[in-house]
Amino acid sequence: MMAPPVKSGPRYNTMIQSDKVRVIDENGENLGVMYTREAIEQAAEVGLDLVEVSPNADPPVCKFLDVGKYRYEAQKKANAARKTQKTQEIKEIKMRPNIDDHDYDTKMRNVQRFIEDGDKVKVTLRFRGRELSHQQLGMNLLKRVQEDVAEIAKVEAYPRMEGRQMLMVLSPK
């Protein structure tokens, strides 16, 4: 036998499990503690549902509300919260140890733009062939990057080697 589907959202009317509840009517007036059956009947007389708004209180707090409208408002509130939240992405900038000044400046403009947008930046330095034996050049370049963005970003992950690449992660201050 399959279990019934789990209802999401607040419990209302016959779903409320406690015997007694504290009741607040549609105008916000506190009607006090009463039996759940009585409260459901009173809500029905007004043409509304008895909705559990604070299930963890003792006794649970219930209100006379229209369940559909209550759920709709809650969903709108959740959507608005989701819309305003900013997710932080990791943007990657790839360089080589013998990068030219102009190319370096262009990459640094991108790094600054990403950090101002609130994103983290992963600076990847790729070594090819014999460049691998000159890791100090890569280290100097990453130190230069670090100094150039010192006032707007902090180093989250200091430079480290991973195979033929040297990585460093910057995040906004």
Question: What is the pLDDT at residue 2?
Answer: 55
What is the residue whose two structure tokens read 């409320």?
Answer: 16
CATH number for the domain including 46?
A: 3.10.20.80
User: Looking at residues 2-7, what average pLDDT do you find?
Assistant: 58
User: Looking at residues 15-40, what average pLDDT do you find?
Assistant: 89
User: Looking at residues 138-163, what average pLDDT do you find?
Assistant: 92
| Number of residues that this document lists for the chain | 173
Question: What is the pLDDT at residue 5?
Answer: 57
CATH number for the domain including 156?
A: 3.30.110.10
Which tokens sit at 36?
């759940």
| Amino acid making up residue 68 | G
Last residue within a domain, chosen from 84, 106, 132: 84
The DSSP letter of residue 87 is: P
Last residue within a domain, chosen from 51, 84, 117: 84
User: Looking at residues 16-45, what average pLDDT do you find?
Assistant: 89
Domain boundaries, position 163:
90-172
The sign of the torsion formed by the CA atoms of 35, 37, 38, 40 equals positive
Per residue in 88-109, pLDDT (tens digit) is 789 999 999 999 999 999 999 9
> For residue 8, is it within any domain?
no
Last residue within a domain, chosen from 62, 84, 106: 84
Taking 3-state DSSP, the helix, strand and coil percentages for the chain, each rounded to the nearest 5, stand at 40, 30, 30
> For residue 36, is it within any domain?
yes
